[in-house]
Chain A
């Protein structure tokens, strides 16, 4: 089934070039898709996304601090989340000097949240509650063995995992949840949105090479690169050739899981497809071919959404297996990751509908099912299977393909 999905993607690529050839050969001739993500004007690069890199770095440091039992406080963690320029919140002084922060971009896309501020506020509050509860519930039980209803540590092989009374690792819920709420939302529903790419006079400026202030890029080029930066912006990833470090970069967010999913034979090629789409779309912008650009948006929306869904199903199934083996520590770790990725599905974008692949209300039901009562301590294999099947079906892959 999934093979079909990818042949569909490849087909749409082929069709795209064919139709351009047939109907507008002259435009097609202008579009040169470079081997690497290298775009220049006057010999200088036009690709920049420092703001995205900054937020990825802020996220990494905040997530790491969830287990800083000795010195982190609720205040210090919340300050990292809602950093204000100049505040001494991070070890990395460049981050402290920045006027950017994580919170303002959580659930903040134009397409999904500009007219939906109530839900946006609830989602931001979810992430703040992960921070607060880590300090209020988990920190005091640092040296307690977790049992049903009691927060503390639990063994996962040679590691200790720190969980709430329901078995949830809040750092995992935060990290995997923000891959959707920050990264996917900004990439798919904001920067690749027509409302953003074509805002105001963007098309006209792009065609006339009206540059954005003192910068070397047009506004539309820059919006596209900002989408690129949320996926490929970790400092350990080379701008031009990100897949050269696929699977071996220091990134722990979407790019990392892109590599993980790509290494599964059932999904092999997804990393190359997404990268090709980013390059082709960017080249199309330079050439002013917005139809070709939007075809690439479709590929990226499907691809990035699929990464999240595959990992959600994968971890829910891994958790089910570990529960069956009575290995609660490993199970809770898997289920916590699965919970976070499932949370992230709210921010996926099915290009056929312009909405998440799984409806927000259904996802709410799933969250309740996973965490009701004693949470992961007594979640049933039937619940995990039924959630997994719903997600897989919505994406047209099978549970087995994601689980292995």
Chain B
């Protein structure tokens, strides 16, 4: 294989010398790997960027600003009322995050954005240690499990069983100042990271993204398709449902659900993420008015049929089935796992069906190579 490639390269350089003219900008493209369908990839990228991605980040950015404000209000005057207000704001922001988490491309990828904002379970003992120490740097990868929404979850929901007791960590506790500072830094970090990503889209990356219409592995469609499927498989299917349900371990791990300390929002977070994934698949504009170019319209263009059915319709139907299974679960996934994990596993199975349809059938139809492999866990 290797030799063949080198010969190809040599031939290519030969023809390069022969044609000589007009080849100077040809360095990065690999004509032999381009697909031949003439679907309008730029229209797809424009709908994604302008009608979905940037608007989703803008909306989430607004929520993170509110989160910073609510955190500041609470830490300046830690009352039960302010704590409850902060908690509501935190939930709103957490829901809005579910609409951007799948777009780990460009600046978000460079920043390791999703991991900085939402690695769970959070490391409570590490957080305790960092607060006691008062010295921490959230840009260090080793603090990834001590920051983001899950760390805030611990600090506003998990320190004690009643709101009155939680307040004491920010009032009478000997480290109260450190608790406040840590909480403020958490909210500010989420906000700063989000603003950085949004600004990058608004200041040039949008054009880079929509103009990179190559159908090679480095093209925008191929890359975001991979990011999207990776997100769906790892963060949504496995992270929110499969891992806590014990699919990847000997026993169920109910302590690994999203928003473990808040207890009753793991289901709405999962449903929100599922809806955002489905909307993106169908090209639904962020304002909800209409659908634009999407994976689904691309599949329709390719006229991809599986088992006699249009693949895009099969995927949409599977999203709906998954949603109905998730809706039937307890609002608190931890309780669902402890009381009747079989329902959790059934929901997982439905989510898994779309991994096959998206990762195998859809990507194959679009001639997109999967660019990630399962890590071997060490």
The CA of A236 and the CA of B127, in the complex, are separated in Å by: 34
A318 / chain B contacts, CB cutoff of 8 Å: 373
Asked if A155 is at the interface of the complex by the 8 Å CB criterion, the answer is: yes
Which listed residue, A142, A155, A399, A404, touches B1 by the CB 8 Å rule? A399
* Interface contact A399-B2, CB-CB below 8 Å: yes
B115 near A321: Cβ-Cβ < 8 Å: no
Q: A363 within 8 Å of B by Cβ?
A: no
Interface residues of B in 1-50 (CB under 8 A from A): 1-2
Asked whether B378 lies within 8 Å of A143 as measured between CB atoms, the reply is: no
| Complex interface residues of chain A between 160 and 202 (CB less than 8 A to chain B) | 160-161
**B side interface size, CB within 8 A:** 19
Interface: B346 (CB within 8 A): no
Given A326-B110, A389-B2, A399-B1, verify A154-B378 contact (CB < 8 Å). no
Q: Which residues of B contact A398 (CB under 8 A)?
A: 1
Most buried by B among A157, A161, A327: A157
Interchain CA distance A398-B2 in the complex, whole Å: 9
Given A158-B145, A326-B110, A153 and B115 touching (CB < 8 A)?
A: no
User: Are the C-beta atoms of B376 and A160 separated by less than 8 Å?
Assistant: no
List CB contacts (< 8 Å) of A316-348 with chain B: 318, 321, 325-327, 329
Interface size on A, residues (CB 8 A): 28
The answer, yes or no, to whether A145 is at the interface (CB within 8 Å) is yes
Asked if B208 is an interface residue, CB under 8 A from chain A, the answer is no
Q: Among B109, B141, B142, B373, which residue has the most Cβ atoms of chain A within 10 A? A: B141
| B113 CB, nearest partner CB in chain A, Å | 11
Question: Which A residue's beta carbon lies closest to that of B112?
Answer: A155
A245 within 8 A of B: no
B376 touching A153 by the CB < 8 A rule? no
Which residues from chain A contact B2 at a C-beta distance below 8 Å? Answer: 385, 389, 392-393, 399
CB distance from B3 to the nearest CB of A (A): 9
Distance to closest chain B CB from A156 (angstroms): 8
B137 interface contact, C-beta 8 A: yes
A3 at the interface (CB under 8 A from B): no
B371 touches A160 (CB 8 A): no
Q: Which residue of B lies closest to A388 (CB)?
A: B2
Contacts of B152 in A (CB 8 A): none
A158/B140 contact (C-beta < 8 A), A326-B110, A385-B2, A389-B2 known: no
Q: How far is the CB of B253 from chain A (nearest CB, A)?
A: 16
Are A160 and B373 also in contact (CB < 8 A) when A252-B378, A398-B1 are?
no
Known A143-B137, A318-B373, A326-B110; judge A160-B1 contact (CB<8 A). no
Q: For the complex, what is the distance from the CA of A55 to the CA of B142, rounded to whole Å? A: 31
Q: Are B1 and A400 in contact (CB under 8 A)?
A: yes
Inside 8 A of B77's CB, which chain A residues have their CB? none
User: What string of 1s and 0s marks CB contacts (under 8 Å) between B109-143 and chain A?
Assistant: 11010010001000000000000000001011110
- Find out whether the CB atom of A159 lies under 8 angstroms from the CB atom of B1: no
A155→B378 contact, CB < 8 A: no
List the A side residues contacting B112 at CB < 8 Å. Answer: 155, 157
Residues on A with C-beta less than 8 A from B110 are 326
Q: Interface residues, chain B, CB within 8 Å of chain A?
A: 1-2, 109-110, 112, 115, 119, 137, 139-142, 144-145, 371, 373, 375-376, 378
Task: Provide 15 A-B residue pairs closer than 8 Å at the C-beta atoms, listed in order of the A residue.
Answer: A142-B142, A143-B140, A145-B139, A155-B112, A155-B141, A157-B112, A157-B375, A318-B373, A321-B371, A326-B110, A327-B109, A329-B141, A385-B2, A399-B1, A399-B2
For the complex of A and B, 7 pairs with smallest distance between CB atoms? A155-B141, A160-B141, A160-B142, A389-B2, A158-B119, A158-B115, A155-B112
Given contacts A155-B144, A159-B141, 8 further A-B contacts (CB under 8 A): A157-B375, A158-B115, A252-B378, A260-B376, A326-B109, A392-B2, A399-B2, A404-B373
